[in-house]
């Protein structure tokens, strides 16, 4: 069995039809991790005892002939910002290097209830702050398509694990593009659901009003199945929405005849790589050939998205990370003689440079005298960005843009220029600010063979429509991705 090509359907079917066992799949994936992951660095922690225990449960169900859950026997990886009971949970930071979580995140519990087997925790930018996965407190992740390049961030480990075939699917989090951007760089599918569709309980917060848990997979159907398993109201998270969860897979395969697809002019201006533009335009033409209508639209406040995002995100990060003080959990400096000195020494030793930078920025914009000038103004602009999308969706069913302005860049290329790094998320932060769902699918390759991603955005809680469009595009573009 060629395990690196397994999808959720094929992995589950192989267990259901007794072509293999869940335990044998776990054996095979751990063997592949041992041979492949040393060069990539996608995993931080493996949870073998937990994985084999779940595999034995699935095999017992299969042996008895009982109905198997939708993810039965499917090996998955979890971004290390989600708590996992009795398993190390670091958020990619030295400050939590030895932290063992006392409970499972809701999404983790739901995946296991659906039969998934958790292989381990994936590397990420520290506290999900980054666009390249070079900000991990442990080691960078390398792109499986080209080890000299970044996999994207912050969920680079989760994307890389799927791309490298060391997991069938994975879970990430998206605050400003951290699912869609690495999906584009690694040539996999990444879905960010509507804010409130999926519980954040157990997600170590970066920016609470922007964090979206979501899945990676090899196919659009993979992420639809994952979303089905993790979506829904959670009494442990008051920000989850009490709205119906549709049958997402039921929309896979439906035609796009008559659908109106908006193309925002602001996303195709200077700064977009020519090869990326050509690949995305080819993808749009394939949708036209399939019966959709492409309509030019405008999202006029797009130019303000990056500064708005970095004011709001850093302000929330400054507040959220105040809890890491050496008192309750995580690293504690043993050299301090006073409480305030312990705070300073603990945070200095535990936090990396990018996290410190964002905490300082966030504290500044929340400080007296600057709150109105920066934070309050950013929240007003956020409302304008959301209104742009609301108005656009009165005339179109979905919106298509590039996922990223370029293909994956070289390791170290942008580490000395934070502003250039931040601009890697220029096409993705708008959806986070507006709280709408978005998906990135592969739509072609550069001359160097590097993946290019196409982003599809939808209305609030209308993941079904973007999955429908993405599935049609995926099949139309399949020959360009070989």
Task: State the helix-helix crossing angle for 463-476 and 220-230, rounded to 10 degrees.
Answer: 160
CA nearest neighbour of 72 among 120, 37, 111, 41? 111
CA nearest neighbour of 248 among 269, 286, 221, 275? 221
Which H or E element spans position 203? Answer: none
CA nearest neighbour of 398 among 447, 334, 468? 468
What SS3 class is residue 469?
helix
Cα 202–Cα 359–Cα 414 angle in degrees, nearest 5: 100
Distance (Å, whole) CA 18 – CA 26: 15
pLDDT score at 409: 97
pLDDT score at 94: 97
User: 440 pairs with which residues across the strands?
Assistant: 190, 455
Ordered structural domains, the chain, with CATH: 3-234 (3.90.1300.10)
Distance (Å, whole) CA 288 – CA 402: 17
CA nearest neighbour of 159 among 77, 237, 230? 77
CA nearest neighbour of 429 among 360, 381, 367? 381
User: Please, are residues 125 and 93 in contact by the beta-carbon 8 Å criterion?
Assistant: no
Distance (Å, whole) CA 81 – CA 372: 32
Distance (Å, whole) CA 177 – CA 184: 10
**444-458 pLDDT tens trace:** 999 999 999 999 999
With a CB cutoff of 8 Å and minimum separation 6, the contacts of 28 are 1, 3
pLDDT score at 156: 98
CA nearest neighbour of 126 among 83, 159, 158, 95? 95
Cα 137–Cα 216–Cα 296 angle in degrees, nearest 5: 110
β pairing state of 75-79 and 169-174: parallel
What SS3 class is residue 293?
strand
What would the two tokens of residue 170 be?
A: 């994975």
pLDDT score at 432: 98
Residue 174's alpha-carbon distances to 4, 108, 231, 285, 435, in angstroms, are 25, 16, 15, 28, 11
Distance (Å, whole) CA 165 – CA 162: 5
CA nearest neighbour of 43 among 148, 118, 115? 118
Low-confidence residues of the chain, pLDDT below 70? none
Q: Hunting for tokens 């930071």 — which residue is that?
A: 93
CA nearest neighbour of 455 among 232, 261, 238? 261
Distance (Å, whole) CA 324 – CA 115: 34
Q: Hunting for tokens 């429509």 — which residue is that?
A: 465
User: Please, are residues 171 and 226 in contact by the beta-carbon 8 Å criterion?
Assistant: yes
Residues belonging to the active site? 79, 154, 178
Distance (Å, whole) CA 19 – CA 17: 6
pLDDT score at 418: 82
Distance (Å, whole) CA 472 – CA 362: 42
């Amino acid at each position: 069995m060629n395990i690196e090509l397994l999808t959720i359907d094929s992995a589950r079917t192989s267990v259901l039809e007794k072509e293999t066992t869940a335990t044998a799949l776990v054996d095979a994936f751990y063997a592949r991790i041992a041979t492949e992951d040393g060069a990539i660095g996608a995993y931080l922690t493996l949870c073998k005892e937990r994985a084999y225990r779940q595999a034995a449960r699935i095999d017992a169900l299969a042996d008895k002939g009982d109905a198997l859950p939708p993810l039965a026997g499917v090996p998955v990886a979890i971004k290390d910002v989600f708590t996992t009971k009795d398993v190390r949970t670091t958020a990619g930071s030295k400050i939590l290097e030895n932290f063992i979580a006392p409970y499972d995140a809701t999404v983790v519990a739901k995946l296991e209830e659906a039969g998934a087997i958790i292989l381990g925790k994936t590397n990420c930018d520290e506290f999900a702050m980054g666009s390249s996965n070079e900000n991990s407190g442990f080691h960078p992740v390398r792109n499986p398509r080209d080890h000299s390049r970044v996999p994207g961030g912050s969920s680079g480990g989760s994307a890389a694990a799927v791309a490298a075939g060391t997991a069938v699917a994975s879970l990430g989090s998206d605050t400003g593009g951290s699912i869609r951007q690495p999906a584009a760089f690694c040539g996999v599918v990444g879905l960010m659901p509507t804010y409130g569709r999926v519980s954040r309980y157990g997600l170590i917060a970066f920016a609470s009003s922007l964090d979206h848990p979501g899945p990676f997979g090899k196919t659009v159907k993979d992420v639809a199945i994952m979303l089905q398993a993790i979506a829904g109201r959670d009494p442990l998270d008051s920000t989850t929405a009490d709205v119906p969860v549709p049958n997402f897979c039921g929309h896979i395969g439906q035609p796009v005849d008559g659908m109106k697809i908006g193309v925002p002019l602001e996303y195709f201006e200077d700064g977009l790589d020519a090869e990326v533009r050509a690949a995305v335009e080819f993808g749009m033409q394939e949708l036209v050939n399939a019966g959709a209508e492409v309509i030019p639209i405008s999202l006029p406040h797009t130019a303000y998205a990056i500064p708005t995002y970095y004011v709001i995100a850093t302000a929330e990060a400054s507040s959220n990370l105040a809890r890491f003080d050496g008192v309750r959990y995580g690293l504690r400096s043993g050299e301090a003689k006073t409480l305030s000195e312990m705070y300073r020494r603990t945070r200095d030793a535990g936090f990396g440079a990018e996290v410190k930078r964002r905490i300082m920025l966030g504290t500044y914009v929340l400080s007296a005298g600057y709150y109105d000038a920066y934070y309050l103004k950013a929240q007003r602009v956020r409302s304008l960005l959301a209104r742009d999308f609301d108005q656009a969706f009165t005339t179109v069913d979905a919106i298509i843009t590039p996922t990223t302005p370029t293909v994956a860049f070289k390791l170290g290329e942008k580490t000395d220029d934070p502003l250039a790094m931040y601009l890697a998320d220029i096409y993705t932060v708008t959806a986070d600010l507006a709280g709408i769902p978005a998906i990135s699918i592969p739509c072609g390759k550069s001359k160097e063979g590097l993946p290019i991603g196409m982003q599809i955005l939808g209305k609030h809680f209308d993941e079904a429509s973007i999955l429908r469009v993405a599935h049609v595009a995926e099949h139309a573009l399949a020959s360009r991705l070989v």
